[in-house]
Structure 1
C-alpha cells in the first residue's frame, strides 16, 4: 500500500515540489503563536499544498512516518525549507490561525 497515493489529503516533500512546479501554492499555517527566545523565534507551523483552484488542500507529512504532519518549530527551519523549495519571497504568519501563501516564481 502506497500511503502517499492512497491518502489524498497528504503530500510528501517530493510531491510538494512537483505540485509547486505545476502551479500549486504552499500555504504556511501558524499552529502556535511563536515566542522569541534570545535571537530565535519558536512556534509551530505546518505547510499545506493548495491546488490552483483552491479546491484541494494536502498536508505536508514527514518522510519517516507518512501520516504525521511535518511541523516546523523555528522560523529559521521554516524559511530554510521554503527557500529550498524555490520560494524567492518568504512570508511567515506570526499568530495562531494565520496563513501565508507561497507560489514559485516561474519567471526566475
Structure 2
C-alpha cells in the first residue's frame, strides 16, 4: 500500500540498501495498531532512516511512482519480515503499538521500546517455504504437502474436503487446499515485487501434490477426469477444521484421434 503525504525526505529501496551496507541504522515504525486475524498479523508499518550523520530523516517509498512521493506501507507482519530479509537482516523486530519503532543495524541486536514481535532465527527458511507455496498455488494450482501445511499454519490457506459430483456415479471426496484472502493478496504482492522462478513442477511427484479446485479444472482441459488425478490424500492432520465444499465434475475435453487414424477408419 502507498500513502499520500505532504512533501517529505524519501529514499528508494536500492538507496536504502546502500545506506544499510554503509552501517546506517534503520527503523521499522508502526503507524497503526496491529491486530491478529486467522493467525496473520495485520497493521501498517513503514521503514525510516532516522536522522544520523547530520542528515535528515528519510522514509522508504516505492521505486516507481508518479507525482508526489508516497510512503511504502507494509500491511502484514509477513510483508515486513520479507522486506527486511531482502535488505540483509536476519534478526527482525516488528513494533506492535502505533507510534512505536524498532531500530535495526546489520550485525547488532535490535533496539526497541514497548511490545515487539520478533522473527525467530529460522524464519528465513519458513518464509521461503511459504513464498514458494503461495506461488505454486497461485500459478500452478498445486503445492507440496510440506508447503501446504506451512501455508495453513501461517493463515494463508485452508484445508478443504471437496466433494466432486459426476452424473451416474457416487460423489468422490478430495483433500484439497484453497488460499485465504490474505494468501491471495500476499501471492500477488510477491509476484509484483520480483520475478520469481519456480522449481520444475516435476520436482513434486503427482502423489505428493496438494491440489486446488482450479487444478481439477486444469486437468479437465487436459482430458482428465477428477477421479483419474493422482494427488496427495489425507495429507493434513493439524488442528484446523477443514471446510466442506461441493462441485460438479468440469466438462472434460475429449481426445480426438489423429488425422491419419481417422482417415484409415473412414
**Gaps spanning 5+ residues in structure 2: where?**
1-6, 109-266
Deviating beyond 6 angstroms after TM superposition, the runs of 4 or more aligned structure 1 residues are: none
Counterpart of 1:33 in structure 2 is 33
The count of aligned residue pairs is 100
Q: CA shift at 1:88, angstroms?
A: 1.7
Root-mean-square deviation (Å): 2.0
User: Per-residue displacement from partner, 1:51-93 (whole Å, max 9, x unpaired)?
Assistant: 5447531100011217110000000010110011011210110
What is the alpha-carbon distance in structure 1 between the residues aligned to residue 89 and residue 73 of structure 2?
Answer: 18
* CA distance 1:36–1:95, change in 2 (3 Å): same
**Gaps spanning 5+ residues in structure 1: where?**
1-6
Decide which moves more: 77-86 or 60-69. Answer: 60-69
SS of the equivalent of 1:29 reads: strand
Larger fraction in helix: 2
What is the alpha-carbon distance in structure 1 between the residues aligned to residue 86 and residue 51 of structure 2?
Answer: 20
Larger fraction in strand: 1
Q: Which has the larger radius of gyration?
A: 2
- 1:93 maps onto 2:101 in alignment: no
TM-score by length of 1: 0.83
TM-score by length of 2: 0.35
